[in-house]
Amino acid sequence: MHEMSLAMGILQIVEDAARAQSFRRVRSVFVEIGELSAVEPAAIRFCFDAVIAGTLAEGAVLNVVEVAGEGLCFNCHQTVPLAARYDPCPACGGYPVQATGGTEMRVKELEVE
């Protein structure tokens, strides 16, 4: 389960921000997770709750904003919605479709005290 290491990375980002900006408590963390990122939102929430125990983020809510997958079809040259990597182009049925969006995972915002 790689979500545990990702949750630990989120906590590290939060702790680094706390040192840099001198806040003492985190109430909410907003994370964007792309549909094609291979990160399961329910699993990352579970792991986040486990890693924040005893930290300045204890009790914080992890808000997941899901980002739709998007790709560029090399066959028809259209930007198309993409539900999974290596799927055919939904417009023309062609291959390959290069993922251009929805592959990321990033911390977007912190609500702090």
Identify the domain containing residue 25 by its residue range: 3-112
In 3-state terms, what secondary structure has residue 62?
strand
What is the rounded CA–CA span in Å between residue 44 and residue 66? Answer: 12
Q: What does pTM read for this prediction? A: 0.86
pLDDT digits over 14-60, tens only?
999 999 999 999 999 999 999 999 999 999 999 999 999 999 999 99
Instruction: Calculate the average pLDDT of the chain.
Output: 96
Contacting residues for 39 by C-beta, under 8 A, at least 6 apart: 2, 3, 6, 33, 105
Rama region for 63: left / alpha / beta (φ>0; ψ in -120 to 50; rest): beta
CATH of the domain at 68: 3.30.2320.80
What pLDDT is recorded for position 1? 58
Is 70 exceeded by the pLDDT of residue 13?
yes
What is the rounded CA–CA span in Å between residue 105 and residue 98? Answer: 18
- For the chain, what is the domain count? 1
